Structure 1
Amino acid sequence: MAEDSSASRMKRKAQTEADCTALAHRFPCGIDVGYWLVAAGARAGTEEEWFGAQTITGDLFDCVDMYKQPAFNHPLLKNHTLQLKPSSLPKGMKLAKSKPASFYGFNDTCPSGTVLIHRARKQDLIESKLLRNQFRAQAIANNPTAEGSHYAIIETEYDQFFGAYDPFYGAYAKMATYKLPDLQASQTSSSTIYLFGDKKVPNNELNVIQAGWHVSPIMYGTSYPRFFTFWTIDGYEKTGCGNLECPGFVSTTNIYGPGSFIPEFSTYGGEQKYLSILISRDSNTGNWWVTYNDQLPLGYFPKELLPKMDDYADAIQMGGHVYSPLNVPSPPMGSGHSSNEGPNRAAYFIQVQSVDSSNKLTNFDNGFIKSRSDIGDYYSISDNHESGKDKYVFAYGGAGGFTK
């Protein structure tokens, strides 16, 4: 899909700014990309009845009754009881009392009792299917269907004899976020936390849940970072999808959600902006909750979908992943710079931790961490190492340019 023309983007932005003027009593105008507007009734220039949110980037988010969201169309969730908030968080972790500055303008974008759902276009659904092949690369080594997909990750795996001494009940990290303006429409670049169910099962039974940020022009029409989620229960073969584009992930907030724009991103060599993600198992329900920026539980992967993660996760991966069609040079990963340049220049993860059996955040045991990249000359990753207040840190990334 070709990127939107400049004229189209300007027209869309002008219409959104006009909507902003009409709603000035609720939101300030003249704002930069990423802030939300709420409208009800017919959309400008159409007879279509619409109730939802629109960003100045042109995204449309529908306000959907939380009990009628896509997740509940899944046959395994027919009798699922909606959990509105996690029953507990890892010990020592508290949600902030106020919402962060990056949520400015997001309040009340949808009414209480509804959730924000990014309106999928046909190409979004096609791209979501492509993502399955892309993420399969690092999950299942040497998979021929994952051509064009590359990664640089760290991994720790539970094994009572040869690996980490405790299973995993969650994972946490802060990731530096970057805008990647040089991505072509057909490319994606992501930074992600992955949790795996039993890795000893056949590939087509592998359960994986993940959350992070990615840049995907084909899905969103821009080069700005987006928060996203993904899941699969068969090693990315047929099941699962990104965000809320198929039944699976359960959203619980009317403020923010999968597919949403991340309004703050880092500057190479300058100020660093972070996205923090916690994925943690709720000890009462068995659901796997996703908490955004230490402040907002966004929703969860329901336990009914994840037969191999009923009690705990078997492995954790963190790092970068890119995709480009064959014969198209691979895109930048992270900040687009090698891990050798170090933090503030290369993209990086800080405060890398897992959740243990006592529901406590704990540093990774470096004796059981592996670092790997499938094409190290193009995408590199540093060892996970201790770094003062940032606890455990690793850098990753590269400019790309690999062609096969």
Structure 2
Amino acid sequence: MENTLEYYYHYSATQGRSWKKEGKPSIKTIQLKPSFLPNGLKPAKPKPATFYGFNDTCPSGTILIERSQKSDYFRSHPVDEKTESGDYFAIIETNTKGPNLFYGASARMTTHLFSLLPTQVSASSIFLFGGAHGPRYDLNVIEAGWHYSPNEYNDYVPRFFTYWTRDGYSNSGCGNLRCPGFVRTTSSPIGPGSPIKDFSVYGGEEVSFSLQIYKDPSTSNWWFLLQGESIGYYPRELLPNMDGGIDKIQMGGRVFSFLKDPSPPMGSGHPYYEGRNKAAYFTQVQLIDPMSRLYNIEPQFLNFISDLPDYYGIGDYHLANPNDGYVFAYGGLGGFRK
């Protein structure tokens, strides 16, 4: 077994002690599977992306978590982005014209292969926010999707990832399994941090994976379905300002680079207006209501935001066909320097 991984056979007790030490609430029980699945999930008809598994698998009844190392702290807390780094995005965002509470989100994301520098990060993800309209220190966030983060993993392989914070990214939170938080409940080799194996071909075949993040109506835990499989959850105790639902959802791309470097590619590395089989897409975009039902959201209830539109764009949000549902394109080549 690699020295960055270890098994916790009594996970709830171990996690409880760790959380108390860090000032987080303890978890008394582990939910092994969701009590309810979102009503209306579609079968995966597009070619699905596949994932390389972890090198280790857990014995029955145990959960694999990754031991946090000192270097991980510095990787996840870069220098002040206002002075020494560039952080840019192209997203859709729910606005105040539509529903004001949500209970999850669902989409398929196309996967793409491109090159970037060691210090750059490029992510395509779903964001769920609790307390979005309150003070930043009360902001709860769940983020998940796929990203390139060479400095974090010491490689140039795109991976599925998860992230959480309960105080607006100030002092809490981490990615994947690097601290107590995400409860991995499956014996499947795929999960947070898994490398992605298959990618879309520019001008050719489109490859994607499905992701649902939703609140279990019985336990209020936030469950993840990856490729239709329940892989684990964030406990309700971890994110108290999401207990009554989430008040903002974002989907799209986000990139990071130090100011001395050009900004990295986003999405497929091609402009969104190049269209299907070339640009990166989210398809089957749906939200989840209090009854765990999936529903479409109309364009007038969304904002389309790019803070660097000459380099990264977002658009083409429309109802494509019965299989793809609502879709949108995003991304760009990057290359911006301040």
TM-score, normalising length from structure 2? 0.89
Alignment counterpart, residue 265 of structure 2, candidates 332, 355, 358:
332
Aligned residue type for 2:212: L
- Per the alignment, residue 110 of structure 1 pairs with 58
Q: Is residue 74 from structure 1 mapped to residue 7 from structure 2 by the alignment? A: no
Displacement, 1:171?
0.1
Alignment counterpart, residue 126 of structure 1, candidates 62, 74, 93:
74
Aligned residue type for 1:152: A
SS in 1 for 2:71: helix
- Per the alignment, residue 313 of structure 1 pairs with 246
In 1, Cα distance between equivalents of 2:334 and 2:263: 5
Give deviations 1:236-275, integer Å, cap 9, x for gaps. Answer: 1221111111222211123222111122222222222112
In 2, Cα distance between equivalents of 1:179 and 1:119: 29
Q: Is residue 83 from structure 1 mapped to residue 31 from structure 2 by the alignment? A: yes
- Per the alignment, residue 194 of structure 1 pairs with 127
8 Å Cα contact 2:51-2:194 kept in structure 1: no
In 1, Cα distance between equivalents of 2:211 and 2:36: 16
Q: Is residue 288 from structure 1 mapped to residue 222 from structure 2 by the alignment? A: yes
Aligned residue type for 1:285: T
Structure-2 change in CA distance of 1:188 and 1:103 (3 Å):
closer
- Per the alignment, residue 209 of structure 2 pairs with 275
Displacement, 1:92?
2.8
Q: Which has the larger radius of gyration?
A: 1
8 Å Cα contact 2:123-2:254 kept in structure 1: yes
In 1, Cα distance between equivalents of 2:83 and 2:118: 21
Displacement, 1:222?
2.2
8 Å Cα contact 2:52-2:196 kept in structure 1: no
Give deviations 1:324-363, integer Å, cap 9, x for gaps. Answer: 0112100001111110111211111000000012211001
Alignment counterpart, residue 174 of structure 2, candidates 241, 260, 265:
241
In 2, Cα distance between equivalents of 1:212 and 1:276: 10
Give deviations 1:134-160, integer Å, cap 9, x for gaps. Answer: 7xxxxxxxxx37941110000014x4x
In 1, Cα distance between equivalents of 2:333 and 2:209: 22
8 Å Cα contact 1:214-1:226 kept in structure 2: yes
Displacement, 1:276?
1.1
- Per the alignment, residue 113 of structure 2 pairs with 179
Matches within 5 A, 1:247-396: 247-255=180-188, 256-294=190-228, 296-388=229-321, 389-396=323-330
- Per the alignment, residue 399 of structure 1 pairs with 333
Alignment counterpart, residue 156 of structure 1, candidates 88, 94, 98:
94
Gaps of 5+ in 2: none
Give deviations 1:364-385, integer Å, cap 9, x for gaps. Answer: 1221101011100000111421
Displacement, 1:106?
6.8
**Which structure shows the bigger proportion of residues in helix conformation?**
1
Structure-2 change in CA distance of 1:123 and 1:268 (3 Å):
farther
In 2, Cα distance between equivalents of 1:60 and 1:248: 17
Displacement, 1:101?
8.9
Aligned residue type for 2:306: S
Displacement, 1:77?
3.8
Alignment counterpart, residue 65 of structure 1, candidates 1, 4, 9:
9
Q: CA RMSD in A?
A: 2.6
In 2, Cα distance between equivalents of 1:237 and 1:106: 30
- Per the alignment, residue 146 of structure 2 pairs with 213
8 Å Cα contact 1:116-1:254 kept in structure 2: no
Using the aligned pairs only, state the percent identity.
Answer: 51
Displacement, 1:117?
3.1
In 2, Cα distance between equivalents of 1:288 and 1:125: 24
Count of aligned positions: 329
8 Å Cα contact 1:116-1:253 kept in structure 2: no
- Per the alignment, residue 28 of structure 1 pairs with none
In 2, Cα distance between equivalents of 1:349 and 1:66: 38
8 Å Cα contact 1:66-1:251 kept in structure 2: no
In 2, Cα distance between equivalents of 1:87 and 1:116: 22
In 2, Cα distance between equivalents of 1:403 and 1:247: 37
Aligned residue type for 1:375: L
TM-score, normalising length from structure 1? 0.75
In 2, Cα distance between equivalents of 1:208 and 1:221: 26
Aligned residue type for 1:390: D
In 2, Cα distance between equivalents of 1:125 and 1:268: 36
Displacement, 1:122?
4.3
Aligned residue type for 1:393: V
SS in 1 for 2:264: coil
SS in 2 for 1:148: strand
In 2, Cα distance between equivalents of 1:210 and 1:103: 19
In 2, Cα distance between equivalents of 1:122 and 1:268: 39
8 Å Cα contact 1:124-1:218 kept in structure 2: no
Higher RCO by CA contacts (8 Å cutoff, separation 6 or greater): 2
Aligned residue type for 1:370: N
SS in 2 for 1:308: helix
8 Å Cα contact 2:51-2:196 kept in structure 1: no
SS in 1 for 2:174: coil
SS in 2 for 1:390: coil
